[in-house]
Amino acid sequence: MEKEVLSILDMRTNAPYDIPIENGAVRASDLRRMKAGPGDFGLMSYDPAFLNTASCQSAITFIDGDKGILRYRGYPIEQLAEKCTFLEVAYLILNGELPTELQLKNFVGAVTHHTMLHETTKTFLTGFRHDAHPMGMFISTVAALSTVYPDAKNVLDPEARKLQIQRLIGKVPTIAAYTYRHSLGYPYIYPDDDLSYTENFMNMLWKMVEPKYRANPVLARALDILFILHADHEQNCSANVMRAVGSSQADPFVCTAAAAAALSGPLHGGANEEVLKMLDEIGSKENVRGYVDKIKAGHGKLMGFGHRIYKNYDPRARIIKWAADQVFVATGRNPKLDIALELEKIALEDEYFIKRKLYPNVDFYSGIIYQALGFKPEMFTVLFAIPRTVGWLAQWQEMIQDPEQKIARPRQLYTGYDVREFVPIEQREVRATSATR
Ligand code: CMC
């Protein structure tokens, strides 16, 4: 095949350049060859919020946002959600291939082996105020694990990496469940090795005085499916943070805490909590149209709608809708679903949303299921963080193994003052500061 090349004529100097195209992209560093004159640094590309910049090469997750396609390691999300358990999908995401029966047994055994928290970590959790937000507790406790496992600093050792990955996947449900019990003032429940990943999580959340917790299989499967849907989503905000922090060779516990912090924002994983608040605010189906009009007039955003990549229906939202029906058979219908369905209907028919290609995303319906399962909205983003830990770790591992990766360090276009003469304090005048703009 003929080499693909982008030919550019720099009109500043009349110099021609041939820039190679690889995988449909040019390397931004190739632009540096284009200089306006001898002392010039060279041309940079400017892309705040990475609207059109690939920050890495990745073989983990594929998304076609226009067609509404999501695949992990080549397998369509619909097939994985229907046929796999969450840990089977976790193995796939981390290792690149679906596990054999023996490989899965060993992986499940290894993760299960690491579900316990050190007792001092439990004590650490008791230090939070009773009304601390579960996501704040989750982020801080995951970071605190870094102090429990100093061997996690050996990020270049594949065996050490594997161990930390198993530890993190094993421990995040335990931390999540403890944050929940803490906010209710309930005693912590230790993990039960006999149970599956999701059943054990439910055990740690909801076991009271019964000798053995038995999860409702329909609800446990629904949670497992939700975990599969949330496991990875290529270079989203939190995955990008995981890679950026990991690129300094910080240990995976603090990297995961940083990624979870990114997830907590209302424009990212925090949106599921916001959707529930929004549905509460709307209150009834009759108020939906008025609410949509308010959004169109520029008052806020429709939470759970829109996506940087999906310009079509988010395939995860479709599967969640299906899972919601299964859950409601067991729990009774969440009345908020009717408001959500009406909101979706009105928005999808409206010119404002059609023109901007705004469709429901994964967070639009997940909160409704979580609420039906018995979670309060503050827990929703923690429920997102548990499975996404797998994706973060896969992204982190891929980044560490990538020979091209270096410490992430973007450039800037400096727009501030040129050099200024220092002004002594007694001669200074009050000026508008950049912090209050
Ligand atoms: N409601 C109303 N208008 C919207 C919305 C929304 N939810 N999302 C985008 N728009 C408008 C936006 O105002 C802009 O309009 P205009 O062209 O007139 O200025 C246009 O659509 C393009 O939006 P954008 O802000 O350039 O899009 P983005 O790619 O920067 O943002 C997003 C993507 C997900 C942050 C945004 O759609 C949003 O804030 N949605 C609500 C929060 C949400 O549901 N987040 C969860 C995302 S999916 C799961 C995850 O990543 O965690």
Per-residue pLDDT of the chain (437 residues; tens, 9 = 90+): 568 999 999 999 999 999 999 999 999 999 999 999 999 999 999 999 999 999 999 999 999 999 999 999 999 999 999 999 999 999 999 999 999 999 999 999 999 999 999 999 999 999 999 999 999 999 999 999 999 999 999 999 999 999 999 999 999 999 999 999 999 999 999 999 999 999 999 999 999 999 999 999 999 999 999 999 999 999 999 999 999 999 999 999 999 999 999 999 999 998 988 999 999 999 999 999 999 999 999 999 999 999 999 998 889 988 998 998 889 999 988 888 899 999 999 999 999 999 999 999 888 988 889 999 989 999 999 999 999 999 999 999 999 999 999 999 999 999 999 999 999 999 999 988 777 66
0.75 exceeded by pTM: yes
pLDDT at residue 437 in the model: 62
**Which has the closest alpha carbon to 217: 231, 230, 198, 191?**
198
How far is the CA of 67 from the CAs of 70, 313, 352, 421, 432, in angstroms? 9, 8, 20, 57, 48
Host H or E run for residue 199: helix 197-206
Could you give the 3-state DSSP secondary structure of residue 360?
strand
Of 52, 308, 384, which is best to mutate to test ligand 1, by the most ligand atoms within 8 angstroms of its C-beta? 308
Q: Are the C-beta atoms of 279 and 340 separated by less than 8 Å?
A: yes
Q: Is the CB of 301 under 6 A from ligand 1?
A: yes
Which residue minimizes the CA distance to atom 50 of ligand 1?
268
Spatial separation of the C-alpha atoms in residues 113 and 323, rounded to whole Å: 30
CA–centroid distance, 291 to ligand 1, in Å, is 17
- Three-point CA angle 363, 365, 368, nearest 5°: 110
Q: Is the CB of 232 under 6 A from ligand 1?
A: no
64, β-bridge pairs: 69
Strand order in the sheet with 5-10: 5-10, 15-22, 25-26
**Which has the closest alpha carbon to 408: 262, 249, 237?**
249
Residues 6+ away with beta carbon under 8 Å from 99 = 88, 91, 92, 107
75, β-bridge pairs: 72
Task: Kindly write down the DSSP assignment for every residue of 38-98, as one continuous string.
Answer: TT--------GGGTT------SSEEEETTTTEEEETTEEHHHHHHH--HHHHHHHHHHSS-
pLDDT at residue 165 in the model: 98
Q: Is the CB of 356 under 6 A from ligand 1?
A: yes
Q: φ, ψ for residue 69 (rounded to 5)?
A: -110, 135
**Which has the closest alpha carbon to 149: 168, 169, 175, 125?**
168
Q: Are the C-beta atoms of 148 and 118 separated by less than 8 Å?
A: yes
Structure token pair of residue 400: 């560490």
Catalytic: 350? no
pLDDT at residue 312 in the model: 87
**Which has the closest alpha carbon to 186: 125, 133, 141?**
125
CA–centroid distance, 303 to ligand 1, in Å, is 8
Which residue minimizes the CA distance to atom 51 of ligand 1?
268
Q: Is the CB of 391 under 6 A from ligand 1?
A: no
CA atoms within 13 A on the CB side of 392: 35
pLDDT at residue 333 in the model: 85
CA-based end-to-end distance of the chain? 53
Q: Is the CB of 267 under 6 A from ligand 1?
A: yes
Residue type, 187: P
Q: Is the CB of 292 under 6 A from ligand 1?
A: no
Which residue minimizes the CA distance to atom 32 of ligand 1?
307
pLDDT at residue 1 in the model: 57
Residue type, 291: Y
pLDDT at residue 434 in the model: 75
Q: Is the CB of 230 under 6 A from ligand 1?
A: no
Which residue minimizes the CA distance to atom 30 of ligand 1?
308
pLDDT at residue 8 in the model: 97
Q: Are the C-beta atoms of 32 and 23 separated by less than 8 Å?
A: no
Catalytic: 307? yes
pLDDT at residue 436 in the model: 63
CA–centroid distance, 51 to ligand 1, in Å, is 13
Of 356, 363, 383, which is best to mutate to test ligand 1, by the most ligand atoms within 8 angstroms of its C-beta? 356
Structure token pair of residue 52: 């059109």
Can you state the percent helix, strand and coil of the chain, rounding each to 5?
Answer: 55, 5, 40
CA–centroid distance, 305 to ligand 1, in Å, is 7
Q: Which residue in the list 268, 338, 350, 402 is annotated as catalytic?
A: 268
Q: Are the C-beta atoms of 372 and 327 separated by less than 8 Å?
A: yes
Spatial separation of the C-alpha atoms in residues 375 and 97, rounded to whole Å: 33
Strand-strand pairing, 5-10 and 69-72: unpaired
Catalytic: 268? yes
**Which has the closest alpha carbon to 46: 409, 415, 308, 413?**
413
CA–centroid distance, 74 to ligand 1, in Å, is 27
CA–centroid distance, 308 to ligand 1, in Å, is 7
Q: Which atom of ligand 1 sits closest to the CA of residue 361?
A: 48
**Which has the closest alpha carbon to 247: 394, 399, 143, 391?**
399
Q: Which residue in the list 30, 232, 314, 363 is annotated as catalytic?
A: 363
